[in-house]
Amino acid sequence: MPRGSQLHVRRFQQSDAAAIVDIGRKTLPFDPLSRYICHVGRRGERILQHYVEVLLRWSICMEGVIDVICTPVEIEGVPPTVVGAAIWLPLNRRPSFSWRNWLGFFSLDLLAALCLLGFISTKRLFLEYPFKRAESRKQVGLADASLRKLPSDSWALELALLDCEYQKRGLESILINAHRARSKGPIFVDVSRPSARDYFRELGFELLDRYYLGKGEVDTQGLPVFTGCVTGSGIEVFSLIQREE
DSSP H stretches of helix in 98-228:
99-105, 108-117, 119-123, 129-143, 171-180, 194-202
How far, CA to CA in Å, does 205 sit from each of 170, 186, 220, 243? 15, 10, 25, 8
Q: Which of 159, 187, 164 is nearest to 56 (CA)?
A: 159
**pLDDT class for 230, splitting at 50, 70, 90?**
very low
- Compute the mean pLDDT over every residue in the chain, rounded to the nearest whole number: 84
Of 1, 169, 175, 7, whose CA–CA distance to 82 is shortest?
7
CB atoms < 10 A from the CB of 113, how many?
A: 21
The pTM assigned to this predicted structure is 0.87
Q: What is the mean pLDDT of residues 227-245?
A: 76
Mean pLDDT along residues 188-211? 94
Distances (CA, A) of 7 to 3, 110, 230: 9, 30, 45
Question: Is the four-CA dihedral 213, 118, 59, 225 of positive or negative sign?
Answer: positive
Read off the pLDDT of residues 94-152 as tens digits, 9 standing for 90 and up.
655 555 555 555 666 667 777 888 888 989 999 999 999 999 999 998 888 888 888 88
| Sequence ranges of the domains in the chain | 8-192
Long-range interactions of 218-224: CB distance < 8 A, separation 24+: 218/32, 221/30, 221/32, 221/193, 222/32, 222/192, 222/193, 222/194, 223/30, 223/32, 223/35, 224/32, 224/35, 224/36, 224/40, 224/41
The pLDDT of residue 62 = 83
Cα–Cα dist 228/122, whole Å: 20
Lowest mean pLDDT among 41-50, 117-126, 151-160, 223-232: 223-232
The answer, yes or no, to whether residue 1 has pLDDT greater than 50, is no
What is the CATH number that goes with domain 8-192? 3.40.630.30
Question: What percent of the chain is predicted at pLDDT more than 70?
Answer: 80
